[in-house]
Amino acid sequence: MPAIPPQLQKYYPVFLEQTSRDLHLNAEEHAAVAAADPEVWAYWAISTLSGNERTVHVRREGTIGRLSELALSLFTRKVNDEGDSWYDFDGGELTRRMDTMYSGANPSMRQRFERLSRTLGVWTYRVDSAIGSVTDKWRQFMPVAPQVSVMPDPQGALAVEFHGHPQNRFFVDGPASTVVNLGPGLTGADFAIRLMGAAQNVHLVSGGKSAHFLNGLIGAKMKSAGIGLERARSAGILQASLPTGTDIARTVMPEVHTYSDGIAAELGRLSIQGTTADIVVMGAVHSAGIQECIAGVAGAKDLLRPGGLLVIKAPDVSVGNDAGMDQVVPAATSLFGNPAADGECGWFVERPGVHGRRPASYAIFRQQS
């Protein structure tokens, strides 16, 4: 067995048994993956199930260098990058098996895929919690900040912020008790946590192959954050981490609702249920496709209260079915009118072999009364 961090020791045997069963590993395959370091599973899960958000792309060294040839073929595919041999965690035999489960017509296969995806989401959170703060390489693969946040500034005023671009801060008029995030990705829980004390309900809408993995990750991180909040409150140290003048008694985590059937379907259900949103965010959802993103704009129009905000950040130009601002902004303008604010907003760095480094912009639209 590999060296296992103390925080993971009681979970790893059960996790290994569950994943081995759901992936139908034979005895030789089980032995090969059991010898891998625990974070290898998280590298593979992020690459296979994060919806194009991240791919772990590494040389055969360190953790990867300790994999046997069989484990390497199960977890990775070998690629050549400028003459060097690299390994991507999204093309090995285990990824093929996940794809077969996801696309299979047999309901039991799909149920197995969903169960395993959530298990891997919880495991990825546990690895993040155990090694994320002490392992520099992990931070290359696991983002720590949403592309778009809604959070109080140091004085307590609620604002929309864009990661790495504080000059684009946009202050929110009125309440933000209900916030919807379309395509929350790996930082969905971080998005919700930043609304602590401000929002009552946060709806995180995912879809496609990544949804159940992301929802497992979000659920595990939100549970841990809630426990941490109450411990800080009990220890009397909560005020130090909050803006001046914050009412500690009212500082609670928002109730987080996760969805897995995609933007168009889930926004339709929320509308039928009578949900009214203060803010709808589309911060990194371009890979969901042009039609899904346009459906997100139309759904936001139905959900937002008068004066509510639709916040969009995306690459400037569409590539294939990846939606860019050139497709999404005209759709939003036709429904909301001209944006209340817009501008350049850095870059999206896509996974290797997809679209590279793409300039991005943002636009904020206001629902008319």
pLDDT of residue 245: 63
Last-in-domain residue among 92, 126, 141: 141
Domain presence at residue 77: yes
- Indicate left, alpha or beta for 213 from its phi (over 0: left) and psi (-120 to 50: alpha): alpha
275 contacts 203 by C-beta, under 8 angstroms: yes
Residues 181 and 136 reside in one and the same domain: no
Name the pLDDT band for 246 (thresholds 50, 70, 90): low
34 & 126 share domain: yes
Four-CA torsion 240, 246, 247, 253, nearest 10 degrees: -80
Residues 106 and 53 in one domain: yes
Q: Which residue is it, tokens 């140091």?
A: 154
Inside any domain, residue 249: yes
Q: Are residues 82 and 102 in the same domain?
A: yes
Rounded average pLDDT over 83-90:
81
Tokens for 237, please give them.
Answer: 């140290």
Other Cβ atoms within 10 Å of 181 Cβ, number:
28
DSSP string of 237-298? -SGGGS-TT--GGG--PPEEEEE-S-HHHHHHHHHHTT--EEEEEESS-GGG-HHHHHHHHH
Supply the mean pLDDT for the chain. 90
Is residue 157 domain-shared with residue 281, that is, in the same domain? yes
Q: Assign residue 307 the CATH number of its domain.
A: 3.40.50.150
State residue 189 phi and psi, 5-degree precision. -65, -40
Residue 130 falls inside a structural domain? yes
Phi, psi torsion values for 303, nearest 5 degrees:
-90, -30
The string of pLDDT tens digits covering residues 266-317 is: 999 999 999 999 999 999 888 889 999 999 999 999 999 999 999 999 999 9
Per-residue pLDDT of 33-64, as tens digits, reads 999 999 999 999 999 998 866 778 888 888 88
Contact 159, 153 (CB under 8 A): yes
How many domains does the chain divide into? 2
Q: For residues 114 and 153, state if they share a domain.
A: no
Quick: pLDDT tens for 193-232: 999 988 999 999 999 999 999 999 999 999 999 998 888 8
Last residue of a domain, one of 141, 165, 200: 141
| CB 141, CB 46: distance < 8 Å | yes
Residue 197 domain flag? yes
Residue 1 lies in a domain: no
Domain limit, last residue, from 108, 141, 174: 141
Nearest to 212, CA basis, from 34, 49, 25: 49
Same domain, 119 and 163: no
Residue 180 lies inside a defined structural domain of this protein: yes
Same domain, 155 and 302: yes
pLDDT at 323 over 60: yes
Q: Do both 251 and 153 map to the same domain?
A: yes
Q: For 7, which DSSP code?
A: G
- Are 125 and 43 part of one and the same domain? yes
Domain of residue 41 covers: 6-141
- Measured in degrees and rounded to the nearest 5, phi and psi for residue 208 equal 75, -160
Instruction: Tell me, yes or no, whether 33 and 91 share the same domain.
Output: yes
Q: DSSP readout, 59-128? A: -S-HHHHTS-HHHHHHH-EEEEETTEEEEETTSSHHHHHHHHHHH-S-HHHHHHHHHHHHHHHHHHHHHH
User: Which whole number is the average pLDDT over 248-268?
Assistant: 91
Higher local confidence (pLDDT), 292 or 144? 292
Residues 237 and 122 in one domain: no
